[in-house]
Each structure stands twice: as C-alpha cells, then as structure tokens.
Amino acid sequence: MGTAVTYERQGQIGVIRVNNPPVNALSHAVRSGIMDALATAADDASLAVVLACDGRTFIAGADITEFGKPPQAPSLPDLLLALDNHPKLTIAAIHGTALGGGFEVALTCNYRIALATAKVGLPEVKLGLLPGAGGTQRTPRLAGLPAAVDLITSGNPIAAENALSLHLVDKVVGENLVDAAVAYGSELVEQGAQKRQASTLPLSLTTEDEKLIASVGAKLLKKTRGERAPQRILNCLLAAATQPFEAGLKREREEFMACLADPQSAALRHMFFAERAAGKIDSLPKDTKALDVASVGIIGAGTMGGGIAMCFAQAGIKVTLVDMTDEAVKLGLEKIAKNYAISVKRGRLTADQTDAIMANMTTSSNFNDLAHVDMVIEAVFENLEVKKDVFAKLDGICKPGAVLASNTSYQSIDAIAAATTRPESVLGMHFFSPANVMKLLEVVKGAASSDTVIATAMAVGKKIGKVSVLSGMCYGFIGNRMLRHYGREASLCLIEGSTPSQIDSAMESWGMAMGPLAVSDLAGLDIGYKAREQLSAEQKGDPASYRVADRLVEAGRLGQKSGAGYYQYDPETRQRQEDPAVMAIVTEARRELGITPRQFDDEEIVNRLTLALANEGAKLLQEGIAQRASDIDVVYCYGYGFPRFKGGPMHTIESMGLDKAVTLINEFRDQLNPEHWQTAPLLTNLVANGGQLADYHRD
Ligand code: 3H9
C-alpha cells in the first residue's frame, strides 16, 4: 500500500487514510494505495469503510503535475468504478477542501460526513478542465441540475452547510471528524442502511432546465471570452439529464480528454503554478522573517490611495489615510464610503461588514500621525521631486524599522530611497487601478531594499489578497516597461492602415479583456500627452507612434472622461462607437508623416502586439528584472487583462514555438523597424540551444 495510503480497522469499521502532503492530491501512489486498501477492506470482516485524510485537507483533486504525462494505472475513473462497486458501505470523511477529483471520490462514496469548516467544490473549469471522474454525472443526480450548473461552471467551492442543504453532504460535525465518521458508519450498519449510489438516482430534463442551460451557456460565452471548458461542462450536464449514467460518463470522458488536449488548459495549468511560484523569491535566505504589519499609513487620498486603503482595511489592518488638507481626506473617505455603499446595494457585503471595515480607517492631514505605523505606502502625484520630499519627511517621522513603500509606476526607487537615511527600508509597492479590484501587486526591489523589507511586502500582499510579483528596478518595472512596446505597436498599426475598432476587436477576439485603444480611452489620453511633454524628441521616439494620440488630445478628445477619444462614447451606456472624425485625424496624420495606408489582417495585429510584449519580457528576464518567465505572465494576466487561458505573453510564445516567435520578430525587424524590433538575445539563444523560457534561470 505504501506510505501515501494506510488501512486499519476500528472495530467493525475499516479506515482508509490518505497521507500525501501538502494537499493529498490523487497522485499515482494515492490512487493505487486506495485501490489496494479497498481490496483489503472488501475481504476483511469490516462492515463499512471510512475514507479520511491526514494533514490540512481532504483530497484536493487530481495531481495536476501528472497531466500531460503518460497515464499510470489505475486511472481515477477505474478507481471510482471499484469504489462504486465496493461490497461494503463507504463513507467519506471531509475536512479542509474536498476539490475536483477529491470531491468526486467523496461523491462516489455512499455517504459523506464533513467538518463544519470544510468546503467542497469542482474547480476544474479554472484549469480549463471539467470534472472527469463522474462529477458532472453524480452532482446533478444528488443536488439537481441548477445547483450542479452553478457549482461546476463557476468552479467556486461551497461551505459544508450549503453542501448539506444541497444533499451533497449527509452530515456535518463540529470536531473529531474521523471518530464521528466511524460512529456514523456503525450507526448506518446498525440501522441496516443500504449502499446508496449517486449513479442510480434518477434525473430528467425539464423545460426550465433546458432554458437554464441555454441562458448560462450564452452568459458564459460572453463572460469567458472564448474559453471552451464551460461549454463542454454544459454538454456533460445535458448528457447527465438525458442519458443513462454509463452513457453520460462516456460523454464526460470524451469531453474531459478534449479539454486536457486543449492548449487553453495547458495555459491555465501553467497559470496555476505560475501564481504559486511568483510568491517565492529565490534570492531570499530561507530564514528571512517578514515583519508584522498591523497598521499602515497611506499617503494620498485620491483614487489610488483610497483603493489601497480599502485593501488593507478589508484585511483587518488599521489604516491611517493622510493627505495635505482636511478637505482632501474628507473627500477621499466619502468616495470610499460610496464604493462600499454600492457593494452593499449589490449584495456583495453587508452593512455590518462595511461598518467593520470603515472602523479600521482613520484620516489625518498631519504626517506626524504616521509616527507609529508599521508600513507607509505613498500614493501621491507621479513626480519624482514630490515623492522625494514625501520620503524625506517620512524619514524624520516614522519609527525605526517601518517599511516605506512607494506606489510609483515609473520612478526610480533608488532615487526615492536616497532621500532618506534608511534606504534599506524603502521599496516599491505598485498597485493597479482600481486598487481594490485588481489582483496584481508589483513589489519593486531597490538597490538597497533589505531582504526583510522585501519579504514583508510579499507577505502583506498575500494578506490583502493580491498576487505579488517581485520586480527589479528599471523604468516602468515589469508591466509598464513592456506596455510601452505594446502601445507603440497598436498606434503604429493604426497609422499604417488599420482602424481603432479593427485593432481592439482583433485583440478582444483573441482574448484580451479590452483592446489597447479602448484601454487608452479609459485611462485618459491626456496622461500620455502630459508625460510626452516632459520628453525630448529623441526620448519620445518615432512620431508615427504618438502623432494620432497627440492630435486627439489637441482636439479635446481625452478619452471616456470627455466622451470621446479613439471612439465616441454613449453618455448613458458608455458604449463605444466608431467616429469618422477620428479617421479624419488619422488620415491627416498619415499625410503629415508621408505614410501610405495598407490593408491589415487581424493576425498581423495580434502577432505584433503580443510579440512586442514577449520580446521585451525576454529582455527583462535576461536582465534579471523578472525572476522567471512565469512571473511576467502573472503580471500580464492580473494587471493588464491578458487572458489567463493564453497563459500570459511568455507562455504564448513558448506554446507557439520559440523558433516561430523569433522568425516573426526577425521579420518585423527587417520589414517594419529595426530599432523597435531588436530581437531579445535570450530568445535567439534559447532557439539555438533548444532551450525553454520556462526553464530559464539567470545565473
Ligand atoms: C481534477 O481533479 C481533475 C479530475 O476531475 C479528473 C481527473 C481524471 N496537484 O495553493 P497552495 C500544490 S483537476 C498538484 O499554495 P493553499 C501547489 O502547487 C484538480 N499540486 O495551498 C503548492 O505547491 P508548492 C482539481 C497541487 O493552502 C502546494 O500544493 N483541484 C495541487 O493556499 C500548496 O498549494 C484543484 O484545482 C494539485 N491538485 O490552497 C485544486 N493543489 O508549495 C487546486 C495544490 O510547491 N488546489 N498543489 O507551491 C487549490 O485550489 C489549493 O491548492 C488548495 C490549497 C485550496 C487545495
């Protein structure tokens, strides 16, 4: 049986225990161990069998690292066939999170008992998969089709009590789970309980169900922007309600295998591990301890500062929100309260919850009130001199050891740190707008930032629910440095012959949450315009890459805030519409620069924009600004609306083939602009040596 699974008798009850840290995933050793234990239990004198797990959780699913490798018998479906046909009563004892294949194991048992703190769910859709071991067939038979549709297409786990009310769990206990499960088993035996197989429960399709499946399908098509697993899940659920169990199971297997072979699932599985890898900092000594952060000061009560304050207050950390005047902090706080009022109205939070969050916030217009906080995050105007002044002031006020962070998007952390006498305490914590919604946090390491300060920022990021990625110091850090190249190519595609709607639609159909020009309109075209005003002609680069944007601003088209930018916006719905006036501006800019427009196809747009990102990403990787390629993917998927089902820009080129990516980049270099398209040496080297971005580590 090995060490991953053990079997023992407690009186008349056999107890199978899985012990496969950290999450008891169904690796080959676990599958074969359970299979052996079931065989032992079938032949001994036990009257019922409890399946329980050691450690922090019940089985949290198939072992994701095994996907894509040659299958090893027994497969999970084979194991579940043996479990379903087992001669004894079977009882799953659930604690922690019974997820995916783990919950499918539990659903195949005859009875389920759970700790009140446990959660159950079928999160496969988040990996571009579907429950492939009977989950799509057993769940609707136990809980009904509407509940199954919700559980499996959302992938979100539900609490034990909720599962109880949906008949997915039979009993909930507060403590001593395994003892309670053994007692439950004895009770069932005494009562003469029969084996109860979800597979034999009846299920039919009502007209209401049919309507539900059609409407959920339509909604998901729009929401998931091209993900295929949700539709495949609905196919399986439809089969569950219209076909015998065996036929439904066969359909599920076919759809599961199709998902597994789909590059979307490979990308989503890549993202699963990428998110977890991002939290690990290779250069930090193992014993580095993060400081406790119980209180934080946020400087700047504008949109950004307010959003950051919300993140901390929601995580139970005391916030002091500071701005120059009482009026500014009052306005900031009102805006926060308004945001929470909307959340209450939409049912996302209760009034009591928002009161508790607001109670974590105090405001001040006096920097001296930051004397005792554990961490300060500066979110003032994006100007180096202003930021240096703030940090010099903080240096005189804050207690020794306080972490001093800047939310700058571009400025040098080293220059900011040099304004203090404690550069080791200074680093960047770059949030993305709206800060209370966007998951990404770039933690920017300055030359002097200490290990403790870096570890603290990463730990705090996790505590406030962000996915944190470490970036080294360069202009724009990981995300915005790459974005310049993406934005440049979008502008060049426009002036060379495309249209705003073709560019945005091409990128959106490919999977981006929003096309690049629509994003510029949302952010405000005046921001880039003002930034360019500070630059020399040389720094601004190729005029073709900003001429149209300049002319739009000069025509008063600042983006959504002025009702028009690259598009015209409906004042009520904010729906974008093409505007002939924009194409007149584009035509004039082409004439000024002597550009003859040409036909564009969507593929060129997608290739130019994604390869511009990835090529710069490879340079960041080689320079050591990013720790690993997958960190860059996390930055783009969580901060810039890159589709997770494409796995980020680096995974995109890895999966298209680095040789093909380099060939295209070289073609762009030769045909478009050698300065814009300097092929990253790392990519050329990897192609020459047959290497992979995923394996690249800078020495
Ligand atoms: C499936 O079941 C398909 C079946 O329907 C059909 C098959 C035929 N496999 O997240 P954490 C690792 S699909 C391998 O930091 P937490 C994880 O990488 C699967 N490894 O902990 C990390 O490693 P490291 C459906 C896994 O406490 C470590 O465990 N199930 C797996 O914050 C700790 O993870 C899911 O999708 C796995 N299944 O959260 C559940 N899971 O330390 C996926 C975790 O080296 N898992 N690891 O970085 C989760 O959602 C969370 O891990 C969980 C714990 C909530 C369980």
Segment 91-144, tens digit of pLDDT: 999 999 999 999 999 999 999 999 999 999 999 999 999 999 999 999 999 999
Kindly give the distance from the C-alpha atom of residue 276 to the centroid of ligand 1, in angstroms, as a whole number.
10
Residue 481 CA to residue 470 CA, distance in Å, equals 14
Kindly give the distance from the C-alpha atom of residue 85 to the centroid of ligand 1, in angstroms, as a whole number.
28
> Between the CA of residue 160 and those of 115, 130, 148, what are the distances in Å?
7, 22, 15
Q: Is 268 in the pocket of ligand 1 (CB under 6 A)?
A: no
Q: Is 62 in the pocket of ligand 1 (CB under 6 A)?
A: yes
Kindly give the distance from the C-alpha atom of residue 120 to the centroid of ligand 1, in angstroms, as a whole number.
13
Residue 437 CA to residue 545 CA, distance in Å, equals 31
Q: List the domains of the chain with CATH numbers.
A: 5-260 (3.90.226.10), 295-471 (3.40.50.720), 479-593 (1.10.1040.10), 602-695 (1.10.1040.50)
- Where does residue 559 fall: left (phi above 0), alpha (psi -120 to 50 degrees), or beta otherwise? left
Look at ligand 1, atom 46, and give the residue with the nearest C-alpha.
60
Would you state the pLDDT for residue 59? 98
Residue 235 CA to residue 1 CA, distance in Å, equals 37
Kindly give the distance from the C-alpha atom of residue 610 to the centroid of ligand 1, in angstroms, as a whole number.
29
Q: Is 123 in the pocket of ligand 1 (CB under 6 A)?
A: yes
Segment 287-309, tens digit of pLDDT: 999 999 999 999 999 999 999 99
Residue 189 CA to residue 400 CA, distance in Å, equals 65
Q: Which atom of ligand 1 is nearest to the CA of 101?
A: 2
- The verdict on whether 86 is a catalytic residue reads no
Q: Is 528 in the pocket of ligand 1 (CB under 6 A)?
A: no
Q: Which atom of ligand 1 is nearest to the CA of 273?
A: 18
pTM summary value: 0.95
Residue 627 CA to residue 344 CA, distance in Å, equals 40
Q: Is 127 in the pocket of ligand 1 (CB under 6 A)?
A: yes
> Is 485 in a helix, a strand, or coil?
helix
Kindly give the distance from the C-alpha atom of residue 103 to the centroid of ligand 1, in angstroms, as a whole number.
13
**Which candidate in 270, 430, 485, 651 is catalytic?**
430
> Is 478 in a helix, a strand, or coil?
helix
Mutate to test the pocket of ligand 1, among 30, 31, 64 (most ligand atoms within 8 A of CB): 64
Kindly give the distance from the C-alpha atom of residue 19 to the centroid of ligand 1, in angstroms, as a whole number.
15
> Which residues of the chain fall below pLDDT 50?
none
Contact 439, 465 (CB under 8 A): yes
Would you state the pLDDT for residue 225? 84
Look at ligand 1, atom 32, and give the residue with the nearest C-alpha.
276
Q: Is 234 in the pocket of ligand 1 (CB under 6 A)?
A: no
Strands 158-159 and 48-53, by their bridges, are unpaired
Whole-angstrom Cα Rg for the chain: 28
Would you state the pLDDT for residue 1? 59
Q: What is the CA angle 290-291-295, rounded to 5?
A: 135
Strands 440-444 and 13-18, by their bridges, are unpaired
Q: Which long-range contacts (CB under 8 A, 24 or more apart) does 672-676 make?
A: 672/492, 672/608, 673/542, 675/542, 676/485, 676/488, 676/489, 676/492, 676/542, 676/612
Instruction: Write the DSSP string, 515-560.
Output: -HHHHHHHH-HHHHHHHHHTS-HHHH--GGGTHHHHHHHHTT--BG
